[in-house]
Structure 1
């Protein structure tokens, strides 16, 4: 009987443990007690410490506040946005179990998030590890995009996938990088609205929206932030104690153009004007910095923070160096800097360039290949009766020079016209010192009526850097990177480069707005009477180059931008996009010296390694 009573008593205790409310601790407190950073997820694995990034404490507390329904975080880079989301997931897994949905911009990103960030956290945090069913390929309770635990589950969805969003009711929604979400999830409508609708059955629902902003007037995160408490982090001036935000406009710096490094950086006080270093502004960070709301809101707290507030791995000197790099690269890179570093939306003036202005920019080159050119690329547009070819030169900071526009006419069903194309792409072009330049990368359009022929022709020429391309454009504002991977799913097994043409056009138009001679600019030759070409950069060329315009459209009330043709022919613009993709695909080191005069600039290009994320301690 005693044994039976003990079992009954234990069952009663266990039952009470399941139904009693969790202890009232915040997400920040939970993370300090239970979260363990994984080697895959952090340069410094081990127990989580909110004190290392004290600005994260208040936003995390807001998520676990029972009086708050929605939390909006419009944050810059290097501020731990993903880490805070993982802490929230851990909290609603191990402390206050609930059905959770995490939404990423697309399913590929969702899978990467699950494999690279979520699974390691569940594995390495002692409280969470026993709760989540281990990965088993035949266990429907645990897959990459779906995991269960006592009292709840987690779905990891892609905003581009209606099927992944169509789940059972959800209490906790965490939506990451919502400004990168498509306008519509298939034909189902706005993905954010779809998921919010699934939380309505829960009186204690939680919605967390996180993103860097994009374009003013079209940014989802900015719109949500404006309908919130609009909280910003304020720091006291080291001299007068006046509370203020850290703003880019207050930064004063010294920059060495030769080494491209920031040698000194300070920030002045808005009140007294005193200059102080990053270390001085961030002294006693946890006790002196304070979040201050801009307005009252009953259920939604919003936080905006730029990367000047970062405490780990991203110093003010790095911010300055990134700004200077963006400034050299033109409007598109500046936009990215202010979006991702300053957490500010970008006000677009409308990307429309007049063809007459570009014509007036033409200049007489001293040689076929002007000074400054390090590499040549070519782009080929396939028409029914001809090939249109544009050869471009490239130099430091992706500055470019048009070298030669050429057409090869003929019946594309006959071998002769393909041989003529091959001969042209095998030529050399000479600079003033006598160096001969060969084309290092060629991208060829595979659309139209000769797709198989293009694949067949490009396949054996891959060793010469000649590849077929396939342009991709969703037409609904969904972002696709310029270099969007490769495929060889064709009868000839030829490598086909997938191009996000909308981003390519944005980069081309950005370069056209830069003053000639400045980093990232685009330059054009006048016809040379001593070396006449049958095809020149004439008025028709510039009309084609500017034949599209970026316009705003709306779908289900959500604004998005698309490129729209303003005239019938746009081959020159297409070729400019292919050339831009070609040089980015090469990723060359523009600092390498050219060979001695008289030599041929040729040979395979060894791309410089793309920079890894910097892991440098803050000056704090």
Structure 2
């Protein structure tokens, strides 16, 4: 039998070879990601990425390839807006269509581990096209992938951290994707700005123009925010949408003229467009957003591409949640900073001018007795600052609205080279002291912290084994939390070494100092106001000028540091700041104990356990007005042993009526 072929063998071979060497059809990164990238987490986990859900990502994503004609892209954003997906989609395009060397830089090792474990690796493993191209970590070729390096034919994706000089000096890269740049250190191991080191990795591609660097971040503080600095270099693109009423393009702004809501729940938040006043309800928010597009508001020669996106436009955050966050932040500088940064995607202006210490002295209150806890001071913290020949300390009582009273403060003279004697012996007496309250009871501090920056091994030994007692370490930087997770440290004392003998808790001192000064500048009843506001500080007339000079001893200054301006705290000439440090640590401990997070019901439960009479505790105890208790007979604390306290376990909050606080020794089941 004779078989007739419609095409000659040569033609078949030629067409097969042509199919192998012909490049795939041109596609934009967003179009390709929609075909091959599987979403790793969130409500659409396991599905192909759908760009129609977050259309604002498409334009910057399609520029994030070498040869796009754009070399620098800045994205200033609020939290949880989906721009991590943009980085993942860019990586997917590079792996499949444009292989080259890429570096993704995260601010810390923890952030890198989370990004790799929760985002990048699952995306690569769950997307079949990408999984087939990434070399296995078990490959014997010598070019295998590693935990922090994803290798593929023609390129690699290296994961680096901004606080590692070794990472940033590792290799030449064509594309650098820099995530959360506001958290990068100012100086890396004395070798300069990490951003400069990243730029140096791309030096080889400057002449050809085949380089790309993307900056993505939530901002922090005005005048020091890295992403703000990049934003100012940009053409400042905002997401504009057509007004449902008149069709004119507008962008969301957090202005109470347009973004309207009620102070009480339900807030019924909605947006009135500035053009014609058309109302956009929560139910319409996403559909309006999806019809939007980017418009440059400051186009000019030499400007880089810049994109701003925040929760007002985000499809993930309801209007009512934004209103609730703003209401909850009013009067609390730390919460307001978080609202500006995480919800509005804007840098927060931190005021660093201390109030006049003479004016603070003028508002001292005669009826505050030294060593006595006022009626509304239901939580008690203590902090100490160790010096060579003595220890400064402060004890502070806290109310539900962060109003606070200095119960005691002073200086313990004595040697500080022995954790069991000298000034430390007296400090232990203060830590264990039972401070009388307004209801006939007495209480010890709920939490006590000591600065471990000086005589660290002595402080570690002193705190070891003491319930709710912390070795604290101040951390510079504007993105540090009030108090972070603890780290174990070894103790060396009297020639003996105790491995992991104590825990050290990092305290973000810079934002806390700004919050303290904001609270101290507030005016209350003493200045003719109707009430004392949230965060207002009360001081007794037993307090001397030394105290007030010390708590107002620092100021914010602009400093030129390795070619970059940064805002740093400095001590005024001739002043001491030890009591200011104590106050900073008391603020951190108050945050740890949940002073700003506890609900009214939780405060009421605490008041009951603290022996507060019901007629006072409900409801006036938690109002900003001072409670009048002179006519109320003292009530003894309720009987019953206090549960054991465990300083190693932080507060656990629940969504019901109960709450837990192992640090303070109270809990409800």
Aligned to 2:280: 276
Offset, 1:81: 1.6
Partner secondary structure for residue 63 of structure 1: coil
Q: Which runs of structure 2 are paired with 1:259-408 in the superposition (5 Å)?
A: 261-283=265-287, 285-286=289-290, 288-294=291-297, 295-296=299-300, 300-312=304-316, 314-330=317-333, 332-365=334-367, 368-408=372-412
- 1:465 has 2:479 as partner: no
Aligned to 1:47: 48
Aligned to 1:531: none
CA distance in 2, matches of 1:410, 1:159: 43
Whether contact under 8 Å (2:95, 2:152) holds in the other structure is: yes
- List runs of 5+ in structure 1 lacking aligned partners: 528-535, 613-620
Offset, 1:311: 0.8
Cα distance, 1:518–1:245 mapped onto 2, change above 3 Å = farther
CA distance in 2, matches of 1:180, 1:306: 19
Partner secondary structure for residue 346 of structure 1: coil
* Greater length-normalized contact order (CA 8 Å, ≥ 6 residues apart): 1
Please point out which of 624, 629, 637 is paired with 1:599.
637
Cα distance, 1:24–1:357 mapped onto 2, change above 3 Å = farther
Aligned to 2:580: 573
- 1:488 has 2:495 as partner: no
Instruction: Report the number of matched residues.
Output: 584
CA distance in 2, matches of 1:190, 1:522: 39
Aligned to 2:594: 587
Offset, 1:247: 0.7
Partner secondary structure for residue 486 of structure 1: strand
Aligned to 1:84: 86
Aligned to 1:615: none
CA distance in 1, matches of 2:12, 2:394: 82
Partner secondary structure for residue 127 of structure 1: helix
- 1:57 has 2:58 as partner: yes
Whether contact under 8 Å (1:111, 1:144) holds in the other structure is: no
Aligned to 2:538: 524
- 1:16 has 2:17 as partner: no
Aligned to 2:652: 609
Whether contact under 8 Å (2:332, 2:515) holds in the other structure is: no
Deviations 1:39-81 (A, max 9, x none): 4x66744221111122222222232472322222112222112
Cα distance, 1:406–1:346 mapped onto 2, change above 3 Å = closer
TM-score (norm 1): 0.86
Whether contact under 8 Å (1:74, 1:305) holds in the other structure is: yes
- 1:192 has 2:195 as partner: yes
Partner secondary structure for residue 99 of structure 2: coil
Whether contact under 8 Å (1:328, 1:397) holds in the other structure is: no
Offset, 1:244: 0.7
Aligned to 2:460: 455
Aligned to 2:515: 507
Offset, 1:379: 0.8
CA distance in 1, matches of 2:229, 2:463: 47
TM-score (norm 2): 0.80
Q: Which runs of structure 2 are paired with 1:543-562 in the superposition (5 Å)?
A: 543-562=549-568
**What's the RMSD between the two structures over aligned residues?**
3.1
- List runs of 5+ in structure 2 lacking aligned partners: 1-8, 492-496, 525-530, 613-635, 656-669
Aligned to 2:144: 141
Aligned to 2:6: none
128-137 or 22-31, which moves further after superposition?
A: 128-137
Whether contact under 8 Å (2:406, 2:540) holds in the other structure is: no
CA distance in 1, matches of 2:367, 2:46: 56
Aligned to 1:94: 96
Offset, 1:92: 1.1
CA distance in 1, matches of 2:164, 2:93: 27
Aligned to 1:150: 153
Deviations 1:564-599 (A, max 9, x none): 111342111111122122223333636322123421
